[in-house]
Structure 1
Amino acid sequence: MRRPMPSHATVQRRQPRRGVLAICTAAGLSLTACGGSDDGPVQLSPATGATLSGACTELAAKLGTLSNTSITASTTVPAGTLKVAGNDVPEHCLVTGKMAQRTSTVDGQSYAIGFEMRLPKAWNGRFYHQGNGGIDGSVVTATGSFGGGPTTHALLQGFAVLSSDAGHAGSLGPTFGIDPQARLDYGYQAVGKLTPMAKSLIQTAYGKGPDRSYFGGCSNGGRHTMVTAARYADQYDGYVVGAPGFNLPKAAVANIFGAQRYATVATNPADVSTAFTAAERATVANAVLAKCDALDGVTDGLVQDTTACQKAFSLATDVPTCTAERNGSCLSAAQKTAIAPIFSGATTSTGAAVYASFPYDSGLGAAGIAFWEFTAPLALDSGAVGMIFKVPPEPVAGFNGPVFSLTSSIDTLVAQINATNATYTESAMSFMTPPNPTDLSKVKSRGGKMIVYHGVSDAIFSVNDTTSWYEGVSAANNGDATGFARFFRVPGMGHCSGGPATDQFDLVSAIVAWVEQGKAPDSITATARGAGNAGGVNAELPAAWSASRSRPLCPYPKVARYKGTGDVESAGNFSCQ
């Protein structure tokens, strides 16, 4: 199907052939369809703003013709009512509603795609679709956040922003997965339904549709973003992808694999965290720093050269082996045997890889790691795998998450997340993941851009998985995808934020500058969130660091290296090499 030309001067090519441009425009065809690819890379034009037309309170009545949509309210939010990192969000209109309301014939529950849109009175001409985390189920405030501890969100910058619950109520928890359509909406179809509705709503509110459309989120929101780039590339121009769980069913099974390994060495069978205590994790993190910190030219509590570190560090030889009782300063031989396979990557009984490996990094000792390693596999991954991802799902009655995770066969779970039947016609590995994930040709050909970031110390979605994906994208583009997609690893950072890291950065401005002005991000300045930080204080920041330490985040495979002189707390004294 031919893609219609958007309403505002859509594309510009570097040194376009004017005759071809005129013919294509007259025919209503895209430049690519007219062979414009010979003219060089697409450069999308900047968005132009508009003012909300009419009163916000009257908007609900005007939106009555939206297909399969019920608008529940449209109310004015005065300037300063909503704040982002201490900044007053300007006056805007809050529209709430539901799409595709239905009653399931499978579980009898009521379903709908709940959403809210926040429409600035002074609009910048852009639309931002906010991908939310976890198993969704909640219409999170539509500020246009993306993780990473930013002090500015898309709404604050003047975007119209959409947030949704992805098609189910949070009160259902993972049991929404009993309904096959709710699975598909969560996986990808809610985005497909919401996107044209949101653009129509914007058209009604401002008298014009968005000139530029962006999608962003972290964790499951990063997954949503990658899936959208694969399935709905004709609808969006830019993507901010954070810690993407684009292989989420595999990652969840791998986390269950990890819990089973920990259980074999837990000193308290009822508490798997006793398998790898906070003191022991700090010991390993310090051993990683001792071996790898200086690889980037300076000893500063950060491992910038992640790749070199994995070659240099050995859990077996660089962490002391206990010769007596465990006391936090060593690991027992049994612990090393149990823990090493978690980092090298979960496998089936035949040795087949389930998911990616995890790197050793300085953030392993951070407090947030414990939740993902010991709580999540029993409290979250159990329900997600048991009721949302596997076919058939577990019965709701009597389901016990910890028992499910600690006793299930990994081989069986791997088979079940790939299975289908007459009721569940798409497997989890189909509805949750981007089809042909390394094929971003549609994003590239329309002039779209993608910025991906991932914490190296993320304990639930592996930065190694994202690294492998990006290498695949590069391979599919003659070894270089940097013209439209760049990947930034964040040393020390945990899942989306936190850890001993410079975890605050503005990627909204960066993606707009790249998409609309052609300014590719050669580096992104990231800062620490120490005392007094407007974006919230990072409690895991080392005391020896400056409260406002900064570092350049470098596009993979480049690494931030110290220049040899100057304040080690300043990004200006590091370069991407």
Structure 2
Amino acid sequence: MQNCLARSAALALLGVGALAIPEASAQSDPGAACTDLRNEVFAAGHVTSARVVEAAGTAPAYCEVRAIALPAINIEVRLPLEGWNGKLYQVGCGGFCGILGRGDDDGGFVNATGPGIARGYATATSDSGHHGLSVVDASWAAANPDAERDWGWRSIGETNRVAQAMIEAFYGKPSGDAIFQGCSTGGRMANMAALRYPEMFQGIISGAPALDETGLAGAGLAWIVQANTGPDGEQILNTDKVDLIGDEVMRQCDGADGAEDRVIADPRQCAVDLSSIACKDGAAGGQCLTPAERAVVEKWREAPVDSAGKTLFPGGIPEGSEPFWPTWLTGTKAGAPALNPLFAKNFGAYMAFTDDPGASYETTDFDFDRDPGRMTEAAAMYNSDDPDISAFRDAGGKMIVWHGWADAIVSPYKTIAWHEAAEKAAGGAEALGAFVRLFMVPGLDHCGIAPGAGGISQADLDPLGALEGWMESGKAPATIMAGD
């Protein structure tokens, strides 16, 4: 009730309340009420379009409103024409974002509003504050601290502000509970919401969160790229050796958890000796690893360090992630480039440093002694790994954090480290467990994008259902697996 009153007061200050459409009007002619939102006025932004979208698949008919929060955050709000459950479901976005609603193009729940509106929520998402040619494109950030700030944190609050204005105008009342869901960058945004907007969301779902963006996209990905770059500047380990490595990892580690199912339950229980597949007597065929290739894998298993041996980011590519290396680390057999090096190059060129080096930057330029200290300003905007989320706890919030153990881009070890630190900050595991639950999923790709062993993917997860049950009953979930 207090949150609803606060939202109503804020909307009144913005001048929204005077233009609100009575709820009866929306119910009697929802189509007209929808298109009338084109004329809705709110501070520091404007509506660009409003139209009715007919029911399709699991989605009911809804009013699609697109708006801009100044300077450049593109926002989409979806308002069910009938059967609104009185709540808001807001989602984050992936990579360096820049593409509005991309999550709904992939057919899953990750960073997608579809599952929310299918359950009767009003939904909201944004492009995080800029247009990008792809999610690995960071050129928008060149000498553009406003856009970096919006991507880092401000788009979360602005998307919510605009969504609440549209909800108030269309339904005649603000939303009740609000849930935020995101994975990868969206997961980073989820934790950021708990830190910067602790009273805004009553439930948060944080998947494979890129909590320490500067540590990950800076030192972490630079370590991976430099390890796999030869003196001639060419890639050392290529896709043709990935199956060889993956099969050997499974041979040595599959049974470490007591079950031989081609799924490694916890990579920390496994230590692989690659000497068994090392090339003998100078041979360099497809069925063995050269010394240089073996050195790449061994370095990938380590955390990045500086010259003094100081760990710069909790890391190491986890055992069991090998099926996903072509996407993230080595490039595919069809010729598609690996994504990790693209993220690393663009982050270093345009987002990491106060003075952007630009397109001439190469990830091999990253200096593990000098450059971590040069990312202080970026860390203040992007990073959401502060383990003290007591303000979110005090507001009554509940959070589900999930991560795949086979993630080859966003380290699951960082999520584990954050959770351990959060336990200490909260006063122990029991105290943290009262409002935060962590689920580590064996064999799962980054955000469950591609099917892993046994076909497991994001389609097998239902963190929203688990969170709803927790918020409604007060009983913490024991699983986020769909159907359990």
TM-score range, shorter chain: 0.7 to 0.9
Counterpart Cα distance in 1 of 2:380 and 2:476: 32
Q: Does 1:348 align with 2:306?
A: yes
Q: Does 1:264 align with 2:224?
A: no
* Structure-1 residue corresponding to 2:14: none
Shift of 1:244: 0.7
Mean CA deviation greater in 159-168 or 491-500: 491-500
Counterpart Cα distance in 1 of 2:345 and 2:198: 32
State the secondary structure of the residue aligned to 2:64.
strand
| Larger fraction in helix | 2
* Structure-2 residue corresponding to 1:236: 201
Amino acid in structure 2 at the alignment position of 1:225 = A
Q: Is the Cα–Cα contact under 8 Å of residues 4 and 174 in structure 2 kept in the other structure?
A: yes
* Structure-1 residue corresponding to 2:468: 512
1:114 pairs, out of 74, 88, 94, with: 74
- The C-alpha deviation readout for 1:20-64, integer Å capped at 9, x for no partner, is xxxxxxxxxxxxxxxxxxxxxxxxxxxxx9995443444454562
Question: CA separation of 1:151/1:134 partners in 2, compared to 1, >3 Å: closer, same or farther?
Answer: closer
* Structure-2 residue corresponding to 1:200: 165
Q: Does 1:333 align with 2:297?
A: no
Counterpart Cα distance in 2 of 1:462 and 1:261: 17
The number of residue pairs the alignment matches comes to 450
Amino acid in structure 1 at the alignment position of 2:440 = R
Counterpart Cα distance in 2 of 1:357 and 1:491: 17
- The C-alpha deviation readout for 1:57-81, integer Å capped at 9, x for no partner, is 444545623111211111100111x
- The C-alpha deviation readout for 1:402-434, integer Å capped at 9, x for no partner, is xx112343333322212xxxxxxxx11110012
Counterpart Cα distance in 2 of 1:155 and 1:298: 39
Counterpart Cα distance in 1 of 2:478 and 2:391: 23
Counterpart Cα distance in 2 of 1:376 and 1:411: 25
Mean CA deviation greater in 59-68 or 448-457: 59-68
Q: Is the Cα–Cα contact under 8 Å of residues 252 and 272 in structure 2 kept in the other structure?
A: no
Counterpart Cα distance in 1 of 2:351 and 2:365: 18
Amino acid in structure 2 at the alignment position of 1:261 = A
Q: Is the Cα–Cα contact under 8 Å of residues 278 and 288 in structure 2 kept in the other structure?
A: yes
- The C-alpha deviation readout for 1:368-418, integer Å capped at 9, x for no partner, is 2436896334433212222112121124xxx235xx112343333322212
Question: CA separation of 1:263/1:369 partners in 2, compared to 1, >3 Å: closer, same or farther?
Answer: same
Amino acid in structure 1 at the alignment position of 2:118 = L
State the secondary structure of the residue aligned to 2:116.
coil
Counterpart Cα distance in 1 of 2:389 and 2:100: 29
Amino acid in structure 1 at the alignment position of 2:201 = Y
Amino acid in structure 2 at the alignment position of 1:351 = G
* Structure-2 residue corresponding to 1:448: 397
1:224 pairs, out of 182, 189, 192, with: 189
Counterpart Cα distance in 2 of 1:296 and 1:129: 37
* Structure-2 residue corresponding to 1:385: 348
* Structure-1 residue corresponding to 2:116: 154
C-alpha RMSD of the superposition: 3.1
Question: CA separation of 1:283/1:380 partners in 2, compared to 1, >3 Å: closer, same or farther?
Answer: same
* Structure-2 residue corresponding to 1:466: 415
Instruction: For structure 2, list consecutive stretches of 5 or more residues without a partner in the other structure.
Output: 8-22
Shift of 1:195: 1.7
Q: Does 1:94 align with 2:64?
A: yes
* Structure-1 residue corresponding to 2:380: 430
Question: CA separation of 1:329/1:72 partners in 2, compared to 1, >3 Å: closer, same or farther?
Answer: same
Q: Does 1:496 align with 2:447?
A: yes
Question: CA separation of 1:322/1:441 partners in 2, compared to 1, >3 Å: closer, same or farther?
Answer: farther
1:33-432 correspondence runs (5 A): 52-53=26-27, 54-59=29-34, 61-62=36-37, 64-80=40-56, 87-101=57-71, 112-121=72-81, 122-140=83-101, 153-171=115-133, 173-177=137-141, 178-253=143-218, 254-264=220-230, 269=232, 271-272=234-235, 275-309=236-270, 313-317=271-275, 319-320=277-278, 322-366=280-324, 367-370=326-329, 375-395=338-358, 399-400=359-360, 404-418=362-376, 427-432=377-382
Q: Is the Cα–Cα contact under 8 Å of residues 110 and 182 in structure 2 kept in the other structure?
A: no
Identity of aligned residues (%): 24
Shift of 1:517: 2.0
Counterpart Cα distance in 2 of 1:329 and 1:142: 39
State the secondary structure of the residue aligned to 1:225.
helix
* Structure-1 residue corresponding to 2:481: 525
Counterpart Cα distance in 1 of 2:474 and 2:276: 46
Question: CA separation of 1:191/1:248 partners in 2, compared to 1, >3 Å: closer, same or farther?
Answer: same
Instruction: For structure 1, list consecutive stretches of 5 or more residues without a partner in the other structure.
Output: 11-48, 81-86, 102-111, 419-426, 528-551, 553-577
* Structure-2 residue corresponding to 1:546: none
Shift of 1:162: 0.8
TM-score after normalising by structure 2: 0.84
Amino acid in structure 2 at the alignment position of 1:368 = T
